[in-house]
Amino acid sequence: MKPAPFRYVRPASVAEAISILAAEGYGAKALAGGQSLIPAMNFRLAQPAVLVDLEALNELRYIREAEGGLVIGAMTRQADVERNAAVSERAPLLAEAMPWIAHVQIRNRGTVGGSLAHADPAAELPAVMQALQAQLRVRGPAGERTVSADDFYLGLFTTALAPDELLTAIEIPALPERTGCAFEEVSRRHGDFALVGVCAVVTRDAGGACSRAAITLLSVGDGPVRAQKAEEALVGRPPTGDAIHDAAEAAATRDIDPPSDIHASAAYRRQLARVLTTRALTTAAGRAAGG
């Protein structure tokens, strides 16, 4: 298939891109790496009248260290995040999840902002950013606002972005002391979208108990799912055997309502959620203890 006819513009600045989006309204679409939008256009699932190419916006391409955390420009390539030493050191969950995204050729073109804005429920980055409690910077004609990754996802392929707004950057806060992270995923073949994925961030107090947990799942709902019941089952207890078992059970049975589709049944996805949550929490808790 070929895309429906469209007009192509290549703004030189974020301000120019936003004014074009504002003028064109729902007919316009931002183009980042094109790894999701172009296939959707080729299948005519998306038929924008105007394609606003963000390729020239180098001002959105950076990884900066900030107050123990990171700020990543929306147009930063996924491959550049994957290979960045500061990301490995300050956001190890993000570094661990990156190789699970598609294939290296796709990560060479695909951007962090594009993946977050696309809001595919099977994508790794939305769940990672929720687990890391990231804040997303969004700019539109009225100026800049910040939206938490928890509030950014509204439903299937739907975010809090207005048609005339761009995601410009992602702020990842510093991890507290005695925090460990882990990412687990099962897909049919390497590079395929996840059947289920789990992100775990566990913080332990001086006595070894879990003082804070962030657990998110992907490919089990309309968007990334924060497993709040699982988190409640863990906090205040030593993150070992029984507590991890209870958290994984809560994640699989109470936090998620996974779909059945041609790739996997809902029951299979629940079982994967149970197993992968157990693995992710065990690894994260071990890392939090310095293991």
Q: Would you say 39 or 176 has its CB closer to ligand FAD?
A: 39
The closest of 135, 128, 130 to 93, measured between CA atoms, is 128
Helical spans, DSSP H, in the chain: 14-24, 37-42, 78-82, 85-90, 92-97, 104-109, 112-118, 124-131, 149-152, 228-234, 241-250, 266-288
Return the residue of 11, 18, 24, 30 that touches ligand FAD, per CB under 6 A: 30
> What's the helix, strand, coil split of the chain in %, to 5?
40, 25, 35
Q: Smallest gap, in angstroms, from Cβ of residue 77 to ligand FAD?
A: 8
Q: Considering the rule CB under 6 A, would residue 41 count as an interface residue with ligand FAD?
A: no
Q: Would you say 194 or 230 has its CB closer to ligand FAD?
A: 194
Q: How far apart are CA 188 and CA 261, in angstroms?
A: 14
Q: Considering the rule CB under 6 A, would residue 68 count as an interface residue with ligand FAD?
A: no
> What residues from 225 to 244 belong to the interface with ligand FAD (CB under 6 A)?
none
> What residues from 73 to 102 belong to the interface with ligand FAD (CB under 6 A)?
74, 101-102
Contact range with ligand FAD by CB under 6 A, out of 31-39, 219-227, 232-240, 281-289: 31-39
Query: What are residue 225's DSSP bridge partners?
Result: 217
Q: Would you say 75 or 243 has its CB closer to ligand FAD?
A: 75
Query: In sequence order, what DSSP letters do the residues of 216-256 get, joined into one string?
Result: EEESSSSS-EE-HHHHHHHTTS-SSHHHHHHHHHHIIIII-
Q: How far apart are CA 14 and CA 20, in angstroms?
A: 10
Q: Smallest gap, in angstroms, from Cβ of residue 29 to ligand FAD?
A: 4
Amino acid at 202: V
Q: Smallest gap, in angstroms, from Cβ of residue 112 to ligand FAD?
A: 8
Return the residue of 6, 14, 19, 34 that touches ligand FAD, per CB under 6 A: 34
Q: How many residues bind ligand FAD (CB under 6 A)?
A: 30
> What residues from 179 to 198 belong to the interface with ligand FAD (CB under 6 A)?
193
- Give me Rg for the CA atoms of the chain: 19
> What residues from 100 to 159 belong to the interface with ligand FAD (CB under 6 A)?
101-102, 106, 110-111, 113-115, 117-118, 120, 123-125
Structure tokens at 7: 């007009």
Q: Considering the rule CB under 6 A, would residue 29 count as an interface residue with ligand FAD?
A: yes
**Residues making contact with ligand FAD (CB under 6 A):** 29-37, 39, 54, 74, 101-102, 106, 110-111, 113-115, 117-118, 120, 123-125, 161, 166-167, 193
